[in-house]
Amino acid sequence: MHKILAVLLCVFITIPTHAASLINDTETEILLTELVSPLARAADIPNGRLRVHIINSDDFNAFVMGGEDVYVYTGLLKQIKNPSALQAVIAHELGHTLGGHMTQMSARMGAEITRTMLIQALGIGLMVAGGNPSLGAGVLAGSSGIAQQSMLAFTRDEERIADDMGVKLMIKANLDPNGFIDVFEQMSHMTGALESRINPNRINHPLTAERLNNVRAQIEKIPSDYHPTNAPTDTQNARYELVRAKLVGYLDNADRVMTSYPDTDTSDAALYARAISRMQSGDLDTARRGTKTLISRNPENPYYYELLGDVEYQLGNYDASIAAYDTALAKSTTDSPQIETALALVLTERRADGDVSRATELCKRANLTSPAPLTYWVLARAYDDGRADWARAEYYQMIGDKKNARKYARRAQQTLPRTSPEYIKSGDILK
C-alpha cells in the first residue's frame, strides 16, 4: 500500500482524456497563467477567464479551445527554452481564436463536402448517361483529392494569418515579438532537413522557413522606440527554468535527465531535475540531500518544501513530511490544491489525533479550488461512512470510469441520509 501511495503522491496526477492526459501542478500552472495573462488582456479576455491546462505528451504543440482554455503540451514546455518563445506560441493560438478560424473551418468543410458531392454526382451522371462506368471513374476518384487540396490551402492561409495576428497581439500586450523568431528557429533546427523533402502543397502548415521570413519582415516594421515593458522578468525566466527542469525530472528517464542536467551543472534547475529524478528512481537519500541544498539556497521557495515533503513521505518519515508540506503552504502566496492534497494523504496515513478531520478539511478546500481525482481518492480514505463511497464515485467519475462511478454512487445512496449533500451529488452521478 505504501508503494502505491508513493506513486499516487507524485505531483503529476494524470487524467485520461482521449489519447493524452492532463497534468496538475500548482507551480507550473501559476507561472504559465502569469505568462499568458498579458496576452489574455490584449485579446480582451476578462480577468480570470483564461485557463491553462498541461497535456502530458512529448508533442511540440499547444492549442486554444473555446477562446478561454489554453492547452500546452509538456513536450513544448521541455523544449521551448525561454518564456517569450512560449508566449509567442500562445499568441499564435489566440490568433486563430481572434480570427474566428474554427468557425470558418467548419463552414469551409461544409462547402467542400458540398463541392465534392456535386463533382461525384457529375461522375455518376456520366456513368449513367454513357452506360460505361469508366467514363465517370476519373472524375469520381479525383473529387476527394480536390477537396483535400482546397482544405490544405485554406489551413495554410489560416496559419499565416495566425502568425501575423500573434505578432500584433504580442506588441499590443507589450511583450517581445522576437519570441516568434526563437520558436521558428528552433523548429527549423528540428525539422529543416525533413522539410526540404516535403511538397509544400501537401501539408496543412506553411514551411517553417517561410513562417520565419514572414515574422522577421513583420517585426522589422515595428517602430524603433517600441519597448516590451511586459516582457518576462529575470525572476520569471528563472522560474521557467525550474518548471522545465521539474517536467524533465518527473517525465523523462534517468539517463535523459542526466544528459540534460549532468552532475557538473550546479544550477538550481539542474539540482531540481536531478533530485526529482532520483526520488522517482528510489534514491531517496540523494534526493533529500539535493532538495535540502535547494532549500538552503532559496528558503522562501514553497515548491522545494513540497518536494521535500514527497521525499520524506516515501522514506516513511511522516512527521517530517507533514512539517515540510505545512511550510510549503505557509510560504505559498496562492491557492495550492496539490500541496493540500499531498498533505492530506500523509495525514490519513499517519492518523494521529486530529489528522483525519484535518485531512478532510484540506481535501474540501482543495476541491473548491481545483477538483482532482487524487483529492477525492484521499477524501475516500478519510471518511469511514457512506461519504467514502460518494468520494470514490466522484474519483471514478473524474477518471472516466462510469461503471465504477455509478456502482459507488448507488452504494453511497444506500447508507446516506437523503437530505445530505453527498446523497444528492451521488444522484447527480447516477443521472
Q: Which residues pair with 20 in a beta bridge?
A: 17
pLDDT of residue 23: 86
pLDDT at 364 over 50: yes
Q: Give the CA radius of gyration of the chain.
A: 26
Binned at pLDDT 50, 70 and 90, residue 366 comes out as very high
Residues 242-251 have pLDDT tens digits of: 999 999 999 9
Provide the pLDDT confidence category of residue 48 given band limits of 50, 70 and 90.
confident
- 200 within 8 A of 206, measured Cβ to Cβ: yes
Q: What's residue 253's pLDDT?
A: 95
pLDDT at 214 over 70: yes
DSSP 224: T
Whole-angstrom distance, CA of residue 324 vs CA of residue 334: 17
Q: Is the separation of the CB atoms in 269 and 103 below 8 Å?
A: no
Q: Whole-prediction pTM value? A: 0.79
**Grid coordinates given for 406:** 455509478
Give me the pLDDT at residue 147, please: 43
Predicted local confidence at residue 207, as pLDDT: 74
Contacts of 7 (CB under 8 A, 6+ apart): none
Joined grid coordinates for residue 54: 498541461
**Contact yes or no for 155/99 (Cβ under 8 A):** no
Confidence of residue 17 (pLDDT cuts 50, 70, 90): very low
For the ranges 223-227, 241-245, 282-286, which has the lowest average pLDDT? 223-227
Among residues 129, 26, 22, the alpha carbon closest in space to that of 337 is found at 26
For residues 152 and 406, the model is more confident at 406
pLDDT at 156: 61
Give pLDDT, residue 119: 45
Q: How many CA atoms lie within 13 A of 343 on its CB side?
A: 27
Structure confidence at residue 198 (pLDDT): 54
Higher pLDDT, 266 or 193: 266
CA distance 105 to 151: 9
Beta strands 20-23 and 62-65, pairing class: unpaired
At position 226, the amino acid (one-letter code) is Y
Going by C-beta distance under 8 Å and a sequence separation of 6 or more, which residues neighbour residue 289?
A: none
Q: Per-residue pLDDT tens for 78-107?
A: 999 899 999 999 999 898 878 554 444 444
